[in-house]
Amino acid sequence: MSKKRPVIGVLALQGDVREHAAMLERAGATAVPVRRPRELAEVDGLVLPGGESTTMSRLLETFELLEPLRGRLADGMPAFGSCAGMILLARQALDGREDQHQLDALDMVVRRNAFGRQVDSFEGDLDFTGVEGGSLHAVFIRAPWVEKTGDGVEVLARIPHTRDAGAAADRIVAVRQGTVLATAFHPELTGDERVHRLFVGIVQEK
């Protein structure tokens, strides 16, 4: 028996909204943009795309989405954040702005722009727990990494320990806590929808 096609919102304040929506559709969901509390109330899950977490934090307030989003996350709505979306979902962000809001849906501390200026964009292959069919090609753009995780947070991927990885070796770049998923990289940009499939599965099982 096939499972129901869930309706998944993409927070449409900034970032790769169209790319995420296309991947969600390929992964078996109906994707809708979310800009208003009314739209947020109707989705089965939400993707928070990359962009600039400081700007997105401010826009969440302007669009009166901050408290409704906190409420839905507290009620257990599944969410998937990539890059800036990961930063927003974390309990705490280092090297952020003091007035930047945290959604506190993932018990972890992230560091913004953690990979440094010289290597602010790069690509690489990762082993990703829960994603079958071999390693995953990952695109990092001024990405955060996860500095510290609480007990309930499952680590899904780390930067491989290669000779040129330097301080980035073994850093955590994908996590899951219950129905909340986050990646420091941009799975919407590679044409490989396996991470989106994982998230659609999480929403369907909820």
Mark whether 20 is an active-site residue. Answer: no
* Residue of 19, 20, 101, 186 marked catalytic: 186
CB 8 within 8 A of CB 20: no
Residue 107 CB, shortest distance to ligand GLN, in Å, is: 20
* Residue of 20, 101, 188, 193 marked catalytic: 188
Q: Which residue is nearest to ligand GLN (CB)?
A: 50
| Radius of gyration (C-alpha) of the chain in whole angstroms | 16
- SS3 (DSSP) at 30: strand
Residue 139 contacts ligand GLN per CB under 6 A = no
Rounded to the nearest 10°, the torsion over CA 152, 158, 161, 162 is 180
Residue 9 or 50 with smaller CB distance to ligand GLN:
50
CB 93 within 8 A of CB 87: yes
Mark whether 193 is an active-site residue. Answer: no
Residue 6 or 96 with smaller CB distance to ligand GLN:
96
Long-range contacts of 16-22 (CB under 8 A, 24+ apart): 16/49, 16/50, 16/51, 16/82, 16/186, 16/188, 16/189, 17/49, 19/49, 19/188, 19/189, 20/47, 20/49, 20/82, 20/188, 20/196, 22/188
Rounded-to-integer distance, Cα 109 and Cα 37, Å = 27
Q: Which amino acid is at 187?
A: P
CB 126 within 8 A of CB 173: yes
* Residue of 83, 101, 193, 196 marked catalytic: 83
The response to whether 97 counts as a known ligand-binding position is no
**Interacting span for ligand GLN (CB under 6 A) from 22-30, 32-40, 79-87, 194-202:** 79-87
Residue from 28, 50, 78, 81 touching ligand GLN (CB under 6 A): that is 50
Residue from 17, 27, 69, 141 touching ligand GLN (CB under 6 A): that is 141
Instruction: Report 11-40 residues binding ligand GLN (CB under 6 A).
Output: none
Residue 83 contacts ligand GLN per CB under 6 A = yes
Paired tokens of 110: 């992230």
Residue from 6, 51, 81, 187 touching ligand GLN (CB under 6 A): that is 51
Mark whether 188 is an active-site residue. Answer: yes
Return binding residues. 51-53, 112, 141-142
Return binding residues for L-glutamine. 51-53, 112, 141-142
Residues near ligand GLN (CB under 6 A) are: 50-53, 83-84, 87, 112-113, 141-142
